[in-house]
Amino acid sequence: MKNSDNPTPTATNKGVKNNIVQPSPDAASELKDFFIDSLKDIYWAENALVSALPKMASNATSPTLTSAILEHLAVTENQVKRLEKVFELLGESAEGKKCEAMAGLLKEGDSILLETVPGAVRDAGIIAASQKIEHYEIATYGTLCAFAKTLGENDVAKLLTQTLAEEKEADCVLSDVALNTVNMVAAE
C-alpha cells in the first residue's frame, strides 16, 4: 500500500469526524420514510405558494407577467391536489411540514417587493424571485421522482413527473417574459 492510500489524520479530517450530527429520535432510517418526509415538505411549500402567488401577481405591472403568474397559480392548486393523490397512493395522510427553503425564498420575494419601485424594475425582481422558486421546485421534484422510481412506486413517479414538467414549463415561460419584455423595459 502506498503512503497516500492511508493518510495520517490531519486537523481537517479530525474536524470532519467531530462534526457528525446525532439524528433526532424521529429521524428516518429507511428511504421510504425520508421520501414521505420530503413529500410533506413540498406539500407545505406548494400550499405556501398558493397563498403567496396572488400577491406577486398583484404587484406585477406587465400584463404578460400577471397572467403567467395567475396561470401558474391554477397549475399550483392542481399540484397540491396531485400531491394529495400521491399521499393516498402511499397510504399516508396528506400533511405539511414547514419547508425552510421555501419559507426563505418567499421571504426574499417579499424583500424584493420592498426594494423595488412598481413597474418594470419590480417586474424584473418578481421574475428573479419566481425563477429561484421554480428552480427549487425542479430540484425537489427531480429528487422525488428518482426516489419514487427507486422505491418501485411507479404510479407515484408518474404523478411527480407531471409536476416536474409543469415546473420546467413555468421556468421557461418566466425566462421568455424576462427576455422579451420586462428586462428590456427595466433597463431603459
We find the least distance from the C-beta atom of residue 76 to Fe ion, in angstroms, to be: 5
Q: Closest CB to Fe ion among 121 and 177?
A: 177
Burial of 180 (0-12, 13-18, 19+ CB in 10 A): exposed
**Are the CB atoms for 133 and 49 separated by under 8 Å?**
yes
The residue from 79, 116, 130, 140 that contacts Fe ion (CB under 5 A) is 79
Give the C-alpha distances (Å, rounded to integers) separating 17 from 6, 54, 100, 115: 16, 47, 27, 43
In whole angstroms, the minimum distance from the beta carbon of 50 to Fe ion comes to: 9
x-or-dash string of contact with Fe ion, 127-146, rule CB under 5 A: ----------x---------
Q: Tell me the three cell numbers of residue 131.
A: 425563477
CA distance linking residue 48 with residue 36, whole number of Å? 18
Q: How far is the CB of 88 from Fe ion (least distance, A)?
A: 19
Shortest CB 80 distance to Fe ion, Å: 8
Instruction: CB nearer to Fe ion: give 112 or 170.
Output: 170
- Contact between 41 and Fe ion by CB under 5 A: the answer reads no
Question: Which one-letter DSSP state was computed for residue 152?
Answer: T
Binding-residue total with Fe ion (CB under 5 A): 5
Examine residue 167 and tell whether it contacts Fe ion (CB under 5 A): yes
> Cα separation of 184 and 187, whole Å?
5
Min CB(6)–Fe ion separation in Å = 48
- Among candidates 170, 148, 168, which has minimal Cα distance to 159? 148
Give the footprint of Fe ion on this chain (CB under 5 A).
76, 79, 137, 167, 170
